[in-house]
């Protein structure tokens, strides 16, 4: 072959290896109970839509209030952690590895929110949510995992300093389940990644998972535990969402951050969608492998995420995406993985993803886009991190995320086919 012919051939081979080929049965053709993973759900709202009223009704349903207002409290306890270490690994980069093999120092403070949910006249559900607040470490580019070359010296962390932007990162239904450790668990190295870029991070865990695994009810990390409270009409969703709202209150009030950004993986991506819909103070939300509209067949929902939940009949997932980018200068970038083996794959769905993107964009003054990255693992992968880092810095420096920027995000297979 001639050189140019060889290059063309190689390029076609590389591209071909990226094109998904797996067949996924994934469409719920109509309302009502259908194939596996299809449940009753709220159809898209009629036009025109009063989105602010929908948001107020959604807040009322989620929090058990009548005025459409979010909680105004901050954390109940603020506890500096002496001599903290984080643990985890960039396993997506280095290969599968136990979290215990990677530890590093970080400046940590625990923010503890006590969430109370009245269930009936004789019982109130009380659960604590522990948030770990870590500070910017971007003065150098430290080695945060065990060096591959033992003679290469580890660079010490510089004195921690505050950034002007707080990133709320929400973990999902991670493995190992119900893990309870003293160090901050950073499964994909995402929190450390943000800190090294110059951003402070408030790490949240799901109820009954990780830092929240110890609870007075001995509840496991099966969120079907909350079904008993939903059956009594109790606003149990507060234990999922109120800790994030309280952290935002504290960040923009007491701590004086200029802006709040939120991202999360899996169940944390779902939480990012939910809080982004109800709290317009979030300038940028990036849910990763966290949800899709309900007419996509999906069978791994947790109890709180069901499409026939009371909140979902007020605002379905497409409506949540609208509310998350409704106002001017707000942006939601939904990140999905082409062949995610767990949740919300993009393979074979690009045209239908474009359809709901068009619907959302037609309703909002802000910006919404779905980026589907190459990936066959349920994680925050290196491509996702490049997208996250670029969005953060563009927002911090430019103050906004124009459509021209989010439409040119790197590693987005939606731009390729």
Per DSSP, 160 falls in state: P
Q: How many CB atoms lie within 10 A of CB 103?
A: 16
Give the pLDDT of residue 186.
Answer: 78
Q: What residue segments make up the domains of the chain, in order of their start?
A: 39-415
Listed as ranges, residues in the chain with pLDDT below 50 are 1-17, 31-36, 91-95, 141-142, 144-145, 147, 150-153
* pTM for this model (two decimals): 0.86
13's CB contacts (< 8 A; 6+ apart) are none
**pLDDT tens for each residue of 356-411:** 899 899 999 999 999 999 988 889 999 999 999 999 999 999 999 999 999 999 99
- Using the Cα atoms of residue 183, residue 184, residue 185 and residue 188 in order, give the sign of their dihedral: negative
3-state secondary structure of 323: helix
Q: Please tell me the total number of residues recorded for the chain in this structure.
A: 417
3-state secondary structure of 230: helix
Cα end-to-end distance, the chain, whole Å: 28
Residue of 201, 276, 268 lying closest to 245 (CA atoms): 276
Domain 39-415 has CATH 3.90.700.10: no
CB distance 262 to 241 below 8 Å:
no
CB distance 285 to 262 below 8 Å:
yes
């Amino acid at each position: 072959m001639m050189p140019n012919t060889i290059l063309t051939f190689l390029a076609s081979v590389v591209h071909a290896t990226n094109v998904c080929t797996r067949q996924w049965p994934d469409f719920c053709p109509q309302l009502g109970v259908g194939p596996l993973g299809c449940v009753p759900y709220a159809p898209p709202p009629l036009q025109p839509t009063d989105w602010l009223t929908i948001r107020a009704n959604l807040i009322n349903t989620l929090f058990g209030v009548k005025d459409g207002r979010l909680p105004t409290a901050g954390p109940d306890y603020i506890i500096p952690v002496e001599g903290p270490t984080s643990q985890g690994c960039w396993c997506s980069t280095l290969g599968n590895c136990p979290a215990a093999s990677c530890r590093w120092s970080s400046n940590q403070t625990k923010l503890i929110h006590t969430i109370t949910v009245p269930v009936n006249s004789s019982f109130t559900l009380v659960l604590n949510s522990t948030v770990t607040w870590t500070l910017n470490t971007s003065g150098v580019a430290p080695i945060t995992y065990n060096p591959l070359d033992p003679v290469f010296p580890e660079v010490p962390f510089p004195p921690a300093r505050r950034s002007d932007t707080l990133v709320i990162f929400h973990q999902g239904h991670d493995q190992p389940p119900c893990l309870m450790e003293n160090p901050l668990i950073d499964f994909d190295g995402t929190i450390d990644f943000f800190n090294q870029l110059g951003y402070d991070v408030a790490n949240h865990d799901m109820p009954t998972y990780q830092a929240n695994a110890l609870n007075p009810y001995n509840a496991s990390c099966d969120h079907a535990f909350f079904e008993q409270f939903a059956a009594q009409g109790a606003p149990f969703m507060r234990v999922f969402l109120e800790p994030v709202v309280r952290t935002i209150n504290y960040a923009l009030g007491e701590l004086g951050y200029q802006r709040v950004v939120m991202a999360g993986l899996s169940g944390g991506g779902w939480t990012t969608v939910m809080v982004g819909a109800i709290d317009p103070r979030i300038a940028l939300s990036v849910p990763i492998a966290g949800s899709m509209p309900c007419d996509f067949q999906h069978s791994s929902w947790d109890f709180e995420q069901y499409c026939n939940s009371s909140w979902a009949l007020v605002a379905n997932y497409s409506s949540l995406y609208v509310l998350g980018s409704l106002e001017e200068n707000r942006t939601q970038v939904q990140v999905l993985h082409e062949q995610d083996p767990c949740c919300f794959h993009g393979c074979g769905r690009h045209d239908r993803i474009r359809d709901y993107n068009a619907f959302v964009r037609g309703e909002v003054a802000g910006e919404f886009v779905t980026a589907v990255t190459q990936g066959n693992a349920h994680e925050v992968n290196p491509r996702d991190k490049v997208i996250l880092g670029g969005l953060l810095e563009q927002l911090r420096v430019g103050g906004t995320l124009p459509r021209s920027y989010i439409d040119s995000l790197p590693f987005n297979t939606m731009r390729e086919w």
